[in-house]
Amino acid sequence: MFQFFHIKTMLPKAGNPKKNGTGKVRLSLTTKFSYGIGHVLNDFCASVWFSYFLIFFTKVLLFSPQLSGSVVLVGQLADCVATPFVGVMSDRGEGCRYGRRKTWHLFGTIMVICTYPFIYSPAVGLQDSETWVKTLYYCFFIVLHQFAWAAVQISHLSLVPDLTPDEHERTALLAIRNSFTVIANMAVYLLLWGVLQVESADPDQPITPGDSGKFQFVTYTTVVVGTITSILFHLGVKERQQETLLPTEDNVRTQQETGNSTISLFTQFRLYQVAVLYMATRLFANISQTIFPLYLHDNLMLGGQKIAILPLVMYALSFVMSVLIKPLNKYFGRRVAYCFGAAVGIGVSVWVRLGEGDIYKSYLIYVVAGMYGISSSALLVTSLGITADLIGQDLNNGAFIYGLMSFCDKLSNGAFVMMIQSWPCFPSCSMHYRDSLAYVCGGAAVLGSIAVLTMCDTTPPVRDQLEEERPKEHEASNSSEVAVNA
């Protein structure tokens, strides 16, 4: 207990942003670091969910591909319902004295910790039960887990516009967030690779029901580490108090000056463009992460260790790209940065469709994994930046917009995974996962490119001008408010 409060008092006032000589708001390194690790627990869960859920359910629990796809769809639909709900409630901020974003983050974190381990463990007390009973058991925990995961994701993303109005600072926060996402994914792959290497002498040995304990070890380890990073996030990030959406006179006046009503958002064509862009981006990233291990295991006939090593290569290159994407966005703009990532994604999708032979299987497949990582990182960071630009000064609708984006993302991902698992001979029987990976990811990259190229302006300049032109008295008032809230 003493150490807990000692750490808290040693942290600087991370929620108090400072301004440089140009008047731009600058966040402290403590705030940036603490924000970056605030999604690590979710990243652990997402990594196992997208990379190994189907492997675990089909190879360890011996569920049929169709049933496994159905369970994924149930989880994604639960996430679809949860994200707009969490977004609206987080924006309203009712009863959130701790901070409207951090309250939902804390609630979601606790629920994730309580549900995550049950998903990747044998059904407690149901080992001899029928499959449909086990399915209901897992669906129960998955629905709760997805609601909790959505609460953490939306509250964490919607903190970005709340913490700073500066476009480049927002891009920096998102890049740091994505860097820790990459680190979390790499940690999962290293953990699984280490466990498989220690307990298996044959690197080409396939995954079997006997590997259940290895998945449980990975699950419990990531829960412990993710809990620690979540605690550090709550200690290091100080949320500034924002107006709620409750119908007060001050709130109505603020909304008229700086934002839109929730209903009026649907009259903006740009909202639909960004939704398509975000959906296509997440579809590319998640399908490549989900289907790639199955492609390696079932089509290329690679063993369990390669299923851990190759995704590790993917995320190592993704980490490098997450560092480079900030200057690419800054100097060339979001449109160029996104099209770069899309071009790499289209190229690697074509390569997967045409690639064959021993050289491809033994060596070139590492290059393929790296290209997927580069493309995913560039697309994700840039699309999140474009979403933050859409929110702009409209902080009262920030979480709802992120929830709406996530709704499109989860619905499309769940539908495509269900279709891929339900139609094992479409477009071909022998190389089903290869073709699914190539066509779905390639098509998503093309769709995202069309969306970003049709946007009139991907770098709105109004926000920074408003910040610089704000009266000094208002700045002093805001500074006092931030100091009090910190």
Name the pairing type of β-strands 25-26 and 18-19: antiparallel
Query: What are the distances in angstroms from CA 116 to CA 37, 140, 221, 316?
Result: 18, 12, 12, 25
pLDDT one-digit tens code per residue, 32-89: 999 999 999 999 999 899 889 999 999 999 999 999 999 999 998 998 888 778 877 8
> Is residue 21 classed exposed, middle or buried when 0-12, 13-18 and 19+ CB atoms within 10 A define those classes?
exposed
Whether residue 467 has pLDDT greater than 60: no
Q: How far apart are the first and last CA of the chain?
A: 22
314 and 177 fall within a common domain: no
Higher pLDDT, 292 or 248: 292
Domain containing 276 — which CATH number?
1.20.1250.20
**For 269-280, what is the mean pLDDT?**
90
**For 193-220, what is the mean pLDDT?**
82
342 and 404 fall within a common domain: yes
Whether residue 246 has pLDDT greater than 80: no
Residue 480 lies in a domain: no
Q: Model's pTM, two decimal places?
A: 0.73
474 band by pLDDT with thresholds 50, 70 and 90:
very low
CA distance 406 to 23: 33
Residue indicated by tokens 């701790």: 98
Whether residue 477 has pLDDT greater than 50: no
110 and 162 fall within a common domain: yes
Kindly report which listed range (30-34, 91-95, 445-449) carries the lowest average pLDDT score: 91-95
Q: What is the pLDDT of residue 287?
A: 93
Whether residue 219 has pLDDT greater than 90: yes
CA distance 182 to 39: 11
Residue 471 lies in a domain: no
93 band by pLDDT with thresholds 50, 70 and 90:
low
Please count the CA atoms within 13 angstroms of the CA of 165 that sit on its side-chain side: 20
92 and 183 fall within a common domain: yes
Residue 344 lies in a domain: yes
295 and 222 fall within a common domain: no
Residue 343, domain extent = 268-457
Contacts of 199-202 spanning 24+ positions with Cβ under 8 A: 200/304, 200/305, 202/303
pLDDT one-digit tens code per residue, 428-440: 777 889 999 999 9
282 and 320 fall within a common domain: yes
286 and 229 fall within a common domain: no
Q: What is the pLDDT of residue 340?
A: 95
Task: State the Cα angle at 187 between 185 and 189, rounded to 5°.
Answer: 70
**For 357-379, what is the mean pLDDT?**
93
Whether residue 455 has pLDDT greater than 80: yes
Whether residue 120 has pLDDT greater than 90: yes
Q: Could you tell me if residue 95 is left (phi over 0), alpha (psi between -120 and 50 degrees) or otherwise beta?
A: left
203 and 280 fall within a common domain: no
**For 113-134, what is the mean pLDDT?**
93
313 and 230 fall within a common domain: no
- Both tokens of residue 214? 């290895």
Is the four-CA dihedral 112, 117, 123, 125 of positive or negative sign?
A: negative
Residue 259 lies in a domain: no
356 and 278 fall within a common domain: yes
Q: What is the pLDDT of residue 181?
A: 83
- Both tokens of residue 138? 């897992």
Whether residue 203 has pLDDT greater than 70: no
Residue 462 lies in a domain: no
The amino acid occupying position 212 is: S
Contact between residue 352 and residue 438 where contact means Cβ atoms under 8 Å apart: yes
Residue 422 lies in a domain: yes
Residue 301 lies in a domain: yes
Mean pLDDT of the chain: 81
Work out how many domains the chain is built from and give that number. 2
457 band by pLDDT with thresholds 50, 70 and 90:
low
**For 117-142, what is the mean pLDDT?**
93
124 and 174 fall within a common domain: yes
230 band by pLDDT with thresholds 50, 70 and 90:
very high
**For 309-314, what is the mean pLDDT?**
89
In this structure, what are the phi and psi dihedrals at residue 219, rounded to the nearest 5 degrees? Answer: -60, -50
Higher pLDDT, 98 or 128: 128
Please enumerate in sequence order all residues whose Cβ is within 8 A of that of 402, keeping only pairs 6 or more positions apart, or say none. Answer: 83, 87, 153, 154, 157, 158, 387
Residue indicated by tokens 């839109």: 260
Q: What is the pLDDT of residue 157?
A: 84
Q: Which residues pair with 18 in a beta bridge?
A: 26
Residue 169 lies in a domain: yes
Q: What is the pLDDT of residue 366?
A: 95
227 and 307 fall within a common domain: no
